[in-house]
Structure 1
Amino acid sequence: MSLWYMTQMLKAMFSTTTPTKTVPQITLRKRLQPKVAAISTSSNMTSRSRPTSARPSFSKRSSLDQSSYQSNDNLEYECKAAYLVVFDSMEENIETREQLIQVLQQAGRNPTKKCLRQYWTNDTDSISFSEFVDICRKVKPTTEDELLQAFKKIDINGDGYIDNSELKKVLTTRGDRMTTQEIQEIIDEVDENKDGKLDYKEFSKMMLNTQEQCKKLAVEYMEKKTKKKQVTRTSNNNTEEDHGDKAKKENREPVRKGKDQEKDVGKASDKQTGSKKEVEKKEGKATELSEDDDSDEDDSDDIVFGSCHTNHVSNKKDKFGSQSSLKSGPAPSLTRTSPKVKERSKSPVAGKDLKLPKPKRLKDWNLTHSKGCFYFDDDKIISHQYEMRILNDTSVWITVEPITIRPGNDLVSTQEEKRSPVDTMLFILRSDDTLVSFTEQRDVKGKYAIRCDLEKGVYKLIPFTTGCRFKPRMSEPTSETKLVKKSDDSYVLTKAFKEALTDIFEMCDLDGNGYLNRSEFNYFNLRTSGEEVTDKEWEVVESTMDLKNGEITRQGFVKLNQMEAEDNEGDTEELWVTLMSMGFNKTLKLDEACPFVMDIYSETCVAKLKVIDLEVGGKALDDAVIDVTKGKGEVAKVRNMRDLFLHTYMDDFRACMVLENKSHHNVKLSIDSSKSENCTPNTDRLELTITVPSRSSMIAQHLMPTKETKAWLVRTQENVIK
């Protein structure tokens, strides 16, 4: 987490514009710099509006504010350096919104989402380098005054210092929040005298200085790359000249006959062979020089480039490695090469004071409540998914946590498992599946939360669990609980079965009002039979059962299953299908379902929520997890691979690894986490063999502490197979 990131959130909190999700971008490998990324802000960009109905024209200079142009070539030179960090040449176009974000950040800018939508609309196909320069002329980097104004908002007594506790409070409760641990890491770096205060004037100067250093390093990288090409070109030219001179010399030899001719032919052959060896020798030196430039020994001065908004590599348009660059061999490394074995450790979760920073006056906010559930379906995890409609721009506070339907009869069966709850997170997406935010904070009991500012609009809410603790049962119980017994001439449900049906009713009562409406009953039917409730079937329900306000009561739901038992004359096969579909085993223990509850507090309006599906998260959820891992995690180049990267995101509760293959070929590799300590994976084993398709990213593995009362250590090693 960077100091730059913190500054962006401060500006977003106290800005009149919509806060942006900002992205740490360039990390220097020095004492302080690993925590400092390229600093940029968005205030200037949001101050000018542009219609979003069509892509803005960059062909005419008059379409931009003339006063925004710089009078020298320095800007274009810096833009060129930033561009060549992302692309192989300036001839390549920016072809995705994510690439535009990345190059703008390399140039020291950090545009808001609102501004990005002005420059990258639905009609935009690509942006050229010259158009990119025009954008940079319009979008100004952060000034010291802007930073100071942001800090002054929380400088209560105006003495030029901010109390660390107040800073933590603001950054964990407002805007695009940070975790307490992330803030503490930053404070530890800058609070050298440990007086509990931050001199934000010096801090601002340091951050702006870091921005200039990052620009300078980008320029140095470009110049180094250019110099390397010139050395290679000169070497090749010298080789050709040397070869040509020797050929001319041979052609000037007189032609002889007989034995003399044969001798001279032999000599000529020897000369030519010598010439070839000399060529090979010189070519070898050129290659050696190129490889030396790329060696790991030079890695200490490398720059790490990353972006929180960089999506997984598209198979369609992204150009993170052109054909020409692949043919020409390895390029200078922009990312550290991963060590043979990587270790990351965390202290016990249970020993930490983990509390969620609730907004003030939360009781005055509008509350929308819903339950949901994770199930297994063909070894895949499915869950309820939601649509949330926000009628006005507002701040929201969303929590999600696993719940116990009936104590002693669910996944939480032991005291140790109570201390290590199932992870139930939530991702907020726009209607086009772009990531907005996710529940990153968690308390010690397992409740996840997110506070963010949302614009008016429609959003998707997709619950997520890693699968590290919510797993399919390993084997079926040897015994079976009776569901039906015969009493006189009729069949009645057993007490154990009635209790299980009551549990199912509670799981299906998503709005928690004590009744099942048609929509809730429909999702129950979809889960147990795969079919929706037709109008005729609902009419049967209405005619045979006592409803309250058109909704099914608990007694009515149990009666419905009683009727099914009587119709089947005591045969329980279909009843077991219902129970197994809802996550119960043969002893009627709920071990393959994880109910959860979600509370949405909105400050200025009521959030309209409805269930839209019961299915796997699919590509949208995978993309969101990949975006978060690549944006917030560490990136390392897989050893001996030019275009294969391992992204690792690890917080106090979980770790996620994402593989990114930028090459034009599939890559098969193994990831071995078997030497990890106190870790449970989402997979069956800690040793995996994975094939990563060309120009794509994929989730490799999730890990969580097996016991949260103990420290946990993630130790991984990857090995390319082919």
Structure 2
Amino acid sequence: MLSRLDNKSRLDQFLKECRSAYETVTGSISNDIRSKEDLELILNIMGRNPSRANMKYYWSKHTESVSFDEFCDYAGQEREVDENLLLRAFEQVDPNGDGFIERDELERVLLKYGERMTQSELKQLLDDFPYDDKGRFPFEEFCRKFADIIEECQSITKRTGAQNGVKERKNLSIKQPRPSKRSSSRLSITSLASIREQKPDEPPSPKISPRKSSTASLPRERSLSMTRKDSISSVKKSSSQTKLSIAEPKNLKSWHNIIRRGCLYVNDRCKFSSQQYRLDLATASAVWISICPQPITKELARVDLELFIFKEEDNEIKEYISCQNATIKGKYCVKTDLRSGKYRLIPYTSGCIFKQRSEESKSVAKLVKGSGEAAEITQAFIDALHHAFDSFDLDGNDLLNYEEFNNYYIRANDDECDLETWGHVTESYETKDGELTRAGFIAIHEQEALDNPDDVTELWFTLHGIGLNNSLVPDEICPFIVEIHTEDCEGHVETTSIRENADLLDRAVCANVVAKGTSKSISDLKDLQLWTYQTDTRASFVVLNQMKNPMAVKIDCSGSQNCISSIDDLKCTVKIKPEEATVGIHLMKENPTKDWSIVCYEELDQL
């Protein structure tokens, strides 16, 4: 697989670099790599930046170790991040081909498509690069300096030796945490900048603490701090709040209105990802927001969608905004008053109805019919691809732009689509006005299916990733429509790529339940409480532990009638850290036309 190494001297140099990097972490080429993290680290040391899709191939769920020979094979398949590669990537965002990119445009690209960073971190990075009096960067100079940073990262190991080198590199990269499951795996610009700034013997710079926001002057908007300890005390003060019903404003048609589409995807049990929405208000305004499911299958017609609002500063989520809400005509509606600023709107579902499939269908749909030159994809496959295309076409123009195709790519490959890949797609398949057509989208999958019609295993990974089961039924995808009405100013809304915020949303659910529900002490412990919030459609249970020790609580709702739960059972054991709240279980009606009764018992359990 070392096809890029076209002569013996390059091969020798390559193997020497492989050995040096390999021994940096393992100590010897006779020792195997024992973790996926170490494999990725050694590839990074060599200047390779494997995608998440490639890492899943290199280290599958069945992989226990990787030998030196296997590592060399993988490294040979990865391109080195060099100046030419960076040039080709940044050429994709050169609006007029003059060799420059404006600073504002570069900021937008790095914030949107690169590693997540705050505005202050981005400013610190860009201030170190050359730009002219018009605020523009020359491509070549930018990429040359960026490549110098990468080269310096690699030279650390050579200067300091194997074990010292890896220790130093780990110290230097403390500011950059390992990406989460669905985040980009691209090289972090912020971490590279920190490496360039520091000398080998210096400790890493401390991470700058986020700026605290003040809500003291906010008249009607009520904020609940999202820091774990503070959120407990904040929601406790609000526990006496009465339940309020809300009605759609009579003059709503005269308000400013923005409509956005999106999709919720199943990642794991009670973990979901979706697009998020950044709302920017120039002035304070009354706000009415609704989210309504548009399920493809009738089984998801009752899915319980909600929308949580968070305050955002410097591209970071700061605090949860508690709002009045109600379900009106199948729409989850939120009413509140927001002051000027930026907010993040994040969809949520309990997992009672929309959840990970319990088992895969035994009936596997055919993707290809015929053989040889007569082979073609089946109509069932084509129909499924049409449904998939519609779910990613968020603006409804029957085309996929870069952001929309990136959402597809994230689901299909567990990785972000870089600009070079997008350029290859638009060059190879049918486009219109620079966007991928429906026919082009189908052609991508048709080509993959017909390239090897006898083995479509990889194609099924893609189809499962975008929410289809073995019968090509989209049972792990739920499209929705978000409507945002603002009374006093015209809001600006930006749609983000698909993301998962399970921990953040769980804490918002806890804050919401404690703010609006009722409580009772568990086993006569006043600082250990079970909070319950019940509406006409759902009941939610949260355990609040205000003690100094971790606790475990059994929740038993098996005596309830006509109920389904978020965990496929009516019993669970919840482990709660000190001074934290944790979601226990959600319940919904199994048959919506019949009455339901909820009986819940709780008791302490052993950790």
TM-score range, shorter chain: 0.5 to 0.7
Q: How does 1:263-662 map to 2 (within 5 A)?
A: 309=224, 314=229, 357-379=247-269, 380-405=271-296, 410=297, 412-413=298-299, 418=301, 421-431=302-312, 432-438=317-323, 440-444=325-329, 446-486=330-370, 489-569=373-453, 571-662=455-546
Q: Distance in 1 between matches of 2:410 and 2:432?
A: 23
| Percent of residue pairs identical | 33
Question: How far 1:474 moved relative to its partner?
Answer: 1.8
Q: Which amino acid counterpart does residue 212 of structure 2 have in structure 1?
A: N
CA contact (8 A) 1:427 1:463 kept: yes
Question: How far 1:442 moved relative to its partner?
Answer: 0.7
CA contact (8 A) 1:356 1:442 kept: no
Q: Distance in 2 between matches of 1:386 and 1:123?
A: 21
CA contact (8 A) 1:312 1:627 kept: no
Q: Specify whether residues 555 and 479 from structure 1 end up closer, same or farther in structure 2 by C-alpha distance, changes over 3 A only.
A: same
Q: Specify whether residues 490 and 433 from structure 1 end up closer, same or farther in structure 2 by C-alpha distance, changes over 3 A only.
A: farther
Superposed CA deviations along residues 402-446 of structure 1, whole A, max 9, x for unmatched, are: 1034xxxx2x14xxx74xx000110011014312245721135x3
Larger % of strand: which?
2
Superposed CA deviations along residues 266-287 of structure 1, whole A, max 9, x for unmatched, are: xxxxxxxxxxxxxxxxxxxxxx
Q: Distance in 2 between matches of 1:580 and 1:320?
A: 39
Q: Specify whether residues 510 and 356 from structure 1 end up closer, same or farther in structure 2 by C-alpha distance, changes over 3 A only.
A: farther
Q: Distance in 1 between matches of 2:373 and 2:343?
A: 54
Q: Distance in 2 between matches of 1:495 and 1:123?
A: 55
Superposed CA deviations along residues 461-497 of structure 1, whole A, max 9, x for unmatched, are: 1100000111222222221111112366153211110
Q: Distance in 2 between matches of 1:546 and 1:609?
A: 29
Q: Distance in 2 between matches of 1:449 and 1:670?
A: 33
Q: Distance in 2 between matches of 1:603 and 1:643?
A: 42
Superposed CA deviations along residues 610-632 of structure 1, whole A, max 9, x for unmatched, are: 23242322332122111111111
Aligned to 1:40: none
Q: Distance in 2 between matches of 1:665 and 1:319?
A: 20
SS at the partner of 2:229?
coil
Q: Distance in 1 between matches of 2:228 and 2:426?
A: 52
Q: Distance in 2 between matches of 1:437 and 1:598?
A: 18
Q: Specify whether residues 482 and 636 from structure 1 end up closer, same or farther in structure 2 by C-alpha distance, changes over 3 A only.
A: same
Q: Which amino acid counterpart does residue 683 of structure 1 have in structure 2?
A: I
CA contact (8 A) 2:224 2:319 kept: no
Q: Distance in 2 between matches of 1:582 and 1:643?
A: 44
Question: How far 1:671 moved relative to its partner?
Answer: 1.1
Aligned to 1:663: 547
Is 1:122 the counterpart of 2:7? The answer is no
Q: How does 1:17-28 map to 2 (within 5 A)?
A: none
Unaligned runs of at least 5 residues, structure 2: 1-210
CA contact (8 A) 1:312 1:626 kept: no
Q: Which amino acid counterpart does residue 367 of structure 1 have in structure 2?
A: N
Q: Distance in 1 between matches of 2:391 and 2:235?
A: 47
Q: Specify whether residues 453 and 317 from structure 1 end up closer, same or farther in structure 2 by C-alpha distance, changes over 3 A only.
A: closer
CA contact (8 A) 2:232 2:580 kept: no
Aligned to 1:227: none
SS at the partner of 1:430?
strand
Question: How far 1:698 moved relative to its partner?
Answer: 1.0
Q: Which amino acid counterpart does residue 229 of structure 2 have in structure 1?
A: S
Aligned to 1:239: none
Counting matched residue pairs gives 382
Q: Specify whether residues 388 and 671 from structure 1 end up closer, same or farther in structure 2 by C-alpha distance, changes over 3 A only.
A: same
Question: How far 1:658 moved relative to its partner?
Answer: 1.1
Q: Distance in 1 between matches of 2:333 and 2:381?
A: 35
Question: How far 1:519 moved relative to its partner?
Answer: 0.6
SS at the partner of 2:471?
coil
CA contact (8 A) 2:563 2:589 kept: yes
CA contact (8 A) 2:556 2:601 kept: yes
Q: Distance in 1 between matches of 2:365 and 2:522?
A: 52
Q: How does 1:126-275 map to 2 (within 5 A)?
A: none
Q: Specify whether residues 590 and 550 from structure 1 end up closer, same or farther in structure 2 by C-alpha distance, changes over 3 A only.
A: same
Aligned to 2:45: none
Q: Specify whether residues 573 and 691 from structure 1 end up closer, same or farther in structure 2 by C-alpha distance, changes over 3 A only.
A: same
SS at the partner of 1:314?
helix
Q: Distance in 1 between matches of 2:246 and 2:226?
A: 29
Q: Distance in 1 between matches of 2:477 and 2:361?
A: 17
Q: Which amino acid counterpart does residue 274 of structure 2 have in structure 1?
A: S
Computing the radius of gyration from Cα coordinates, the structure with the larger value is: 1
Q: How does 1:80-95 map to 2 (within 5 A)?
A: none
Q: Specify whether residues 519 and 633 from structure 1 end up closer, same or farther in structure 2 by C-alpha distance, changes over 3 A only.
A: same
Q: Distance in 1 between matches of 2:231 and 2:293?
A: 39
Q: Specify whether residues 614 and 310 from structure 1 end up closer, same or farther in structure 2 by C-alpha distance, changes over 3 A only.
A: closer
Q: Distance in 1 between matches of 2:234 and 2:415?
A: 44
Aligned to 2:568: 684
Q: Distance in 2 between matches of 1:358 and 1:705?
A: 26
Aligned to 2:115: none
Q: Distance in 2 between matches of 1:691 and 1:423?
A: 25
Aligned to 2:592: 708
Q: Distance in 2 between matches of 1:404 and 1:317?
A: 36
Question: How far 1:309 moved relative to its partner?
Answer: 4.7
CA contact (8 A) 2:304 2:349 kept: yes
Superposed CA RMSD: 3.1
Q: Distance in 2 between matches of 1:365 and 1:653?
A: 29
Q: Distance in 1 between matches of 2:484 and 2:559?
A: 40
Q: Specify whether residues 629 and 404 from structure 1 end up closer, same or farther in structure 2 by C-alpha distance, changes over 3 A only.
A: closer
Superposed CA deviations along residues 104-138 of structure 1, whole A, max 9, x for unmatched, are: xxxxxxxxxxxxxxxxx9399xxxxxxxxxx9xxx
Q: Distance in 2 between matches of 1:308 and 1:646?
A: 23
Unaligned runs of at least 5 residues, structure 1: 1-120, 125-134, 140-174, 177-306, 322-334, 337-354
SS at the partner of 2:381?
helix
Question: How far 1:356 moved relative to its partner?
Answer: 7.9
Question: How far 1:700 moved relative to its partner?
Answer: 1.1
SS at the partner of 1:398?
strand
